[in-house]
């Protein structure tokens, strides 16, 4: 198979798919007052609207907040070139034919910022007319470039290209978006329209609950948790749980996208540590990059584990049908590629939890010491008193939640809002809590009052621009009895559950 050339500097054509994650909404929440956010979301920011309506909303922000040059602040793209098409063609062929193929899921992403509101406006207006939500581009790694006089240039985005199977490679450059005047080669279309990433495995809903239970119970593991290790992976989430008998479970396998954070000695040590683990089960809270990027450094045996994941495609369907939601896709092609690879080689070990299965304990071990939950999977009621319908965690609230109980108890909410979790979770006092969504700005925390000597662990990165950790979030955790601990300065924090 052709090796991907992620940093080709000869202006060869690449395609870029724009997607939005929660960082867009978080950065808005940091800079805009609640009443203005309410106006924006009440109006229904929808990139299917007329260009004049979109411009009106942006002008409204600029008028009210003149010192903000433009928004959104960070733009995320999945990149596609000849090598991607060649590698991912494996999914269009039979598994038996490719059983021994050396393919490994990989990430090919660009994150950056437009220099001016003019560039961003042109980019968004061009996006509206795109049939499949992609841009035709080339990458530019030169020190200086002037595109002002080139009529074929739509916008220039400065940022970083990240490529990884293992290890992660990264390079600074520009994504130069150009008008597409040529016919698209048909071989690109299955990647551009996502058809090559669609899964064969059917999501499991509540009526098929026994399928999941039987599969996990048949592993015949002791589900008595000894320790939970919360790794310092920068702006990310990565937790391993050691059970009696030496078996391991991962809850998320994340890693920061920030080169600065990955180069910290503690994070390097954490990567070496979780690389040695051969898990029996991997449970994903959700599909954001900072919750899955760690597979680039995980032990290859991770793909032989049982995977329990939320329905990525159900989330995408949801974002398109809800009013007041930007109609971008909330997930990267890298996430779709990982899910498809798991589907491709699952041997019955992939369990996708249907979007309709809500507010429930979807699995409980026989001793009830390990439970997997879904929340109500809906928008939380505003952020710190903001009026409806403003919120930031729509995509995150589709995630999975875990609780562990031995002599001490642990709550792992992923990025879900506390207020959307099942009430049975909130009635319990936990000795250990991994603060939801890197301790971001959130709605009220309805957890039970905790006794003394309880720890809330905050996993966030020094390079984040999202206001993590949020002071109000910390204050509320302290008010219900939690001592605040952070992963910063440590390779991990160990939670002794025995």
Residue 321 is assigned to a structural domain of this protein: yes
Residue 304 in contact with residue 261, Cβ under 8 Å? no
Residue 3 is assigned to a structural domain of this protein: no
For 331-458, list the strands marked E by DSSP.
350-353, 360-364, 370-374, 400-405, 409-412, 432-434, 454-458
Q: Sign of dihedral through CA atoms 476, 480, 485, 486?
A: negative
Residue 332 is assigned to a structural domain of this protein: yes
- At residue 353, the pLDDT reads 97
If asked whether residues 276 and 182 sit together in one domain, one would say no
Report residue 376 as tokens.
């109500």
- At residue 393, the pLDDT reads 57
Say how many domains are in the chain.
2
Pair type for strands 14-19 and 225-231 = unpaired
| Domain-ending residue, one of 143, 178, 197 | 197
Residue 260 is assigned to a structural domain of this protein: yes
Sheet holding 350-353, edge to edge: 350-353, 306-310, 281-283, 248-253, 238-243, 225-231, 492-496
Beta-bridge mates of residue 306:
281
Residue 389 preceded by cis peptide, ω within 30:
yes
DSSP secondary structure letters along 79-125: EE-HHHHHHHGGGGS-TGGGTT------EEEEEEEESSHHHHHHHHH
If asked whether residues 337 and 472 sit together in one domain, one would say yes
What tens digit of pLDDT does each residue of 276-291 get? 999 999 999 999 999 9
Residues of the chain with pLDDT under 70: 1-3, 20-72, 94-101, 128-132, 148-149, 317-329, 379-395, 450-451
- Considering only CA atoms, which of 331, 476, 355, 363 is closest in space to residue 417? 476
Predicted model pTM: 0.91
Q: Which residue has the tokens 């809500």?
A: 358
If asked whether residues 222 and 162 sit together in one domain, one would say no
If asked whether residues 274 and 151 sit together in one domain, one would say no
Residue 8 is assigned to a structural domain of this protein: no
Residue 413 in contact with residue 406, Cβ under 8 Å? no
If asked whether residues 298 and 367 sit together in one domain, one would say yes
Q: Sign of dihedral through CA atoms 460, 466, 468, 472?
A: negative
Taking the CA atoms of the chain, what radius of gyration do you get in angstroms?
A: 22
Dihedrals φ, ψ of 475, to 5°? -60, -45
CA distance 38 to 308: 36
- At residue 54, the pLDDT reads 55
If asked whether residues 278 and 132 sit together in one domain, one would say no
CA distance 282 to 272: 18
Residue 384 preceded by cis peptide, ω within 30:
no
Q: Which residue has the tokens 């495995």?
A: 201
Residue 190's H or E segment, with its range, is: helix 189-192
CB neighbours of 407 closer than 8 A, spacing ≥ 6?
Answer: 497, 498
Pair type for strands 225-231 and 482-486 = unpaired
As to burial, measured by CB atoms within 10 angstroms (0-12 exposed, 13-18 middle, 19+ buried), residue 449 is exposed
If asked whether residues 289 and 381 sit together in one domain, one would say yes
| Domain-ending residue, one of 144, 173, 197 | 197
CA distances from 393 to 203, 258, 418 (A): 22, 22, 11
DSSP state of 2: P
Q: Which residue has the tokens 């300065």?
A: 489
CA distance 204 to 193: 25
If asked whether residues 271 and 184 sit together in one domain, one would say no
If asked whether residues 367 and 284 sit together in one domain, one would say yes
If asked whether residues 401 and 450 sit together in one domain, one would say yes
What residues make up the domain containing 51?
A: 14-197
Give the Cα-Cα-Cα angle 403, 405, 408 (nearest 5 degrees).
Answer: 120
If asked whether residues 170 and 261 sit together in one domain, one would say no
If asked whether residues 330 and 286 sit together in one domain, one would say yes
Residue 7 is assigned to a structural domain of this protein: no
| Domain-ending residue, one of 135, 162, 197 | 197
Stated length of the chain: 498
Q: What is the CATH number of the domain that holds 341?
A: 3.60.15.10
Q: Sign of dihedral through CA atoms 10, 178, 92, 346?
A: positive
Residue 33 is assigned to a structural domain of this protein: yes
């Amino acid at each position: 198979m052709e090796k991907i050339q992620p940093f080709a500097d000869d202006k060869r054509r690449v395609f870029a798919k724009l997607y939005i994650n929660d960082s867009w909404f978080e950065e808005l929440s940091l800079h805009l007052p609640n009443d203005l956010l309410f106006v924006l979301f009440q109006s229904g920011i929808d990139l299917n609207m007329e260009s004049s309506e979109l411009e009106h909303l942006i002008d409204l922000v600029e008028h009210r907040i003149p010192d903000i040059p433009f928004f959104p602040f960070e733009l995320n793209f999945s990149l596609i070139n000849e090598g991607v098409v060649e590698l991912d063609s494996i999914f269009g062929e039979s598994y038996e034919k490719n059983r021994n193929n050396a393919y490994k899921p990989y990430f090919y992403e660009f994150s950056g910022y437009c220099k001016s509101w003019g560039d961003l406006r042109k980019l968004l207006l061009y996006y509206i007319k795109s049939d499949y939500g992609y841009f035709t581009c080339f990458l530019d790694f030169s020190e200086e470039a002037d595109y002002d006089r080139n009529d074929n240039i739509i916008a220039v985005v400065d940022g970083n290209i990240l490529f990884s199977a293992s290890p992660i490679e990264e390079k600074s450059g520009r994504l130069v978006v150009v008008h597409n005047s040529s016919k698209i080669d048909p071989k690109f279309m299955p990647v551009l329209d996502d058809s090559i990433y669609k899964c064969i495995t059917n999501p499991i809903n509540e009526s098929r609950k026994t399928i999941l239970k039987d599969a996990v119970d048949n592993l015949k593991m002791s589900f008595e948790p000894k320790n939970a290790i919360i790794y310092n992976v920068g702006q990310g989430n990565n937790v391993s749980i050691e059970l009696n008998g030496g078996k391991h479970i991962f809850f998320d396998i994340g890693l920061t996208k920030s080169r600065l954070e990955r180069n910290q000695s503690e994070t390097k040590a954490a990567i070496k540590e979780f690389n040695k683990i051969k898990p029996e089960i991997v449970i994903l809270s959700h599909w954001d990059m900072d919750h899955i990027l760690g597979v680039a450094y995980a032990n290859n045996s991770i793909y032989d584990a049982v995977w329990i994941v939320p329905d990525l495609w159900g989330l995408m369907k949801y974002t398109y049908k809800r009013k007041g939601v930007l109609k971008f896709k909330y997930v990267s092609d890298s996430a779709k590629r990982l899910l498809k690879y798991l589907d491709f080689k699952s041997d019955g070990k992939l369990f996708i939890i249907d979007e309709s299965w809500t507010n429930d304990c979807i699995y409980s071990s026989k001793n009830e010491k390990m439970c997997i939950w879904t929340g109500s999977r809906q928008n939380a009621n505003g952020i710190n008193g903001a009026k409806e319908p403003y919120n930031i965690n729509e995509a995150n609230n589709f995630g999975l939640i875990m609780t562990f109980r031995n002599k001490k108890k642990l709550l792992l909410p992923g990025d879900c809002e506390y207020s959307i979790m099942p009430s049975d979770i909130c009635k319990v006092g936990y000795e250990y809590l991994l603060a939801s969504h890197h301790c971001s700005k959130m709605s009220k925390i309805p957890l039970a009052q905790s006794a003394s000597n309880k720890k809330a662990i905050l996993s966030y990165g020094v390079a984040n621009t999202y206001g993590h950790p949020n002071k109000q979030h910390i204050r509320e955790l302290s008010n219900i009895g939690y001592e605040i601990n952070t992963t910063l300065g440590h390779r991990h924090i160990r939670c002794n559950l025995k």
